[in-house]
Amino acid sequence: MSTHPLEEILHPQSIAVAGASDNPGSSGYGFTYHLIEYGYRGKIYPVNPRYPEILGMKAYPTIRDIPGPVDYVISAVPAAAVPNMLADCSQKGVKAVHLFTGRFSETGRQDAAELEQVILKQARKAGIRLIGPNCLGLYHPREGIAFGYDFPKEPGAVGLAAQSGGGALNFVYLASLRGVRFSKVISYGNALDLNECDFLDYFSQDAETKLIVMYIEGVRDSKRFFASLRQAAATKPVIILKGGRGQSGMRAAASHTAALAGSMKVWESLVAQAGAISAQDFDEMADLAVSFYFLPPVQGPRVGVVGGGGGPSVLAADQCEEAGLDVIPLPEEIREELKSQGISIWDWVGNPADSSIAGEASFSAGDMLRMMDRNQNFDILIGIIGEGSPGGKESIIARRKGDVKSFIKVKKEISKPLLVMVEEKSLGIKNHNHWRWRVMSEARTKLIAANIPVYPTMARAARAARKLVEYYRRRK
């Protein structure tokens, strides 16, 4: 266990939910329900004077009425009720309070901003640390603490700090559906007390966290932040998504988390100087997280692409090149090897290796990947699982399953990073259960289970690969 102050906050022995509720539509219900659902092993105290019992547990009128000690409080009470609640926390010796409660400085109203400052002073005086206000707080799978339904229960290696609760929630779904698991996730909203620097410092020294991901709208102390960032990025990859990059985004950030965003040019150059990696949106953040999560270090930009049909291979080449990867021509040694094996298309196939031309040649995407892995001219391999085949149900299912199986087999044998693009469509409810799209979902599930990162488009796979190339080049 580290000595960072967050270490204790993240491992509470007991949690009270102020403003707990029996109404399943409310957040006071959700926070209480999640503690049970995710298997929190400490004591759970629902607090609400209006209920004798909540979710089958005795409810307490106030925090003061709780019999045992309380380490951590989740506050779902209205803003005006926070000072009294905090006074109770102080009396009870509470160590940290997560203020889900919002409507403070982010409203732009003077009285709300003043109340926020009153609360900060009150907490400081009582020695209580605050997460928030205006945020979803903690998702800490190892402890059984969560702020959303359907999150993975098993822990992992990604630490996320996000200034947006909806963003944090969205990212947990985005990344976990692609196989990422989390060490700790902190949605921290207005960052009144504990802020992005604290979370970054914590993740930096947390042994469970191998990869740090952040969504930030504004930093409280730029100097401290970039010093923390430099230190963190020296030990593990740090991916940062900045919200409030332009004029309108800055305005929106101010009314979301009262964040004051500065010049984007300065920000970007400082992030790059610190050795961190910038993402443009939550999708790219997920692409990067998935890439670092599953891939070994990338040695260079020379890419081999296999598995697509003709048109998709042409566009894959364009998009890899446009992303800054080097789509080298198929090396002569591989051509000679194909020829010596009697593969009829030895002189025709290239890189990208168009899968639709194989015909009766006893030669698969997996075979090509193996050759590219052995060949010293390739640094990165990208496989394509596409939907664009004209065949019927049985032949398409057989081909998709065959490709997935061969990618998984090859993955175990090779040492170079392998990314797989699995095409996606905007499905309507009538298409949801059609075999054509289900076979793609099956492909994703199987590839992810084999620790292979999947990407919905070639452009996104290529851009993620390029950012890894740059990252590892800088590390050298």
Per CB under 8 A, contacts with a copy of itself among 423-452 are: 423-434, 436, 438, 441-442, 444-445, 448
Cβ closest to a copy of itself, residue 3 vs residue 110: 110
Which of 73, 115, 157, 162 binds a copy of itself (CB under 8 A)? It is 162
Q: Is 324 in the site for a copy of itself (CB under 8 A)?
A: no
**Binding segment for a copy of itself among 43-51, 60-68, 335-343, 345-353 (CB under 8 A)?**
345-353
Q: Identify which of 414, 398, 400 has the alpha carbon closest to the alpha carbon of residue 445.
A: 400
Separation between Cα atoms, residue 207 and residue 205, nearest integer Å: 6
Cβ closest to a copy of itself, residue 45 vs residue 171: 171
Q: Is 215 in the site for a copy of itself (CB under 8 A)?
A: yes
Q: Is 152 in the site for a copy of itself (CB under 8 A)?
A: no
Q: Is 340 in the site for a copy of itself (CB under 8 A)?
A: no
Q: Is the separation of the CB atoms in 399 and 365 below 8 Å?
A: no
Q: CB atoms < 10 A from the CB of 53, how many?
A: 10
Per CB under 8 A, contacts with a copy of itself among 356-375 are: 356-357, 359
Cβ closest to a copy of itself, residue 14 vs residue 107: 107
**Binding segment for a copy of itself among 98-106, 204-212, 333-341, 411-419 (CB under 8 A)?**
98-106
CA distances (Å), origin 456, targets 351, 442, 444:
21, 14, 10
Per CB under 8 A, contacts with a copy of itself among 303-322 are: 308-322
By CB atoms closer than 10 A (0-12, 13-18, 19+), residue 426 is exposed
Per CB under 8 A, contacts with a copy of itself among 389-418 are: 389-395
Q: Is 273 in the site for a copy of itself (CB under 8 A)?
A: no
Number of residues forming the site for a copy of itself (CB under 8 A):
114
Separation between Cα atoms, residue 329 and residue 14, nearest integer Å: 61
CA distances (Å), origin 57, targets 14, 38, 47, 75:
14, 16, 10, 18
Residue 419 dihedral angles phi and psi, to the nearest 5°: -105, 145
- The gap between the terminal CA atoms of the chain, to the nearest Å, is 31
- CB 87, min distance to a copy of itself, A: 25
Q: Identify which of 404, 384, 394 has the alpha carbon closest to the alpha carbon of residue 446.
A: 404
Q: Is 475 in the site for a copy of itself (CB under 8 A)?
A: no
Q: Is 246 in the site for a copy of itself (CB under 8 A)?
A: yes
Per CB under 8 A, contacts with a copy of itself among 18-77 are: 24-25, 27, 29-30, 33
Q: Is the separation of the CB atoms in 298 and 465 below 8 Å?
A: yes
Separation between Cα atoms, residue 30 and residue 148, nearest integer Å: 8
Cβ closest to a copy of itself, residue 109 vs residue 473: 109
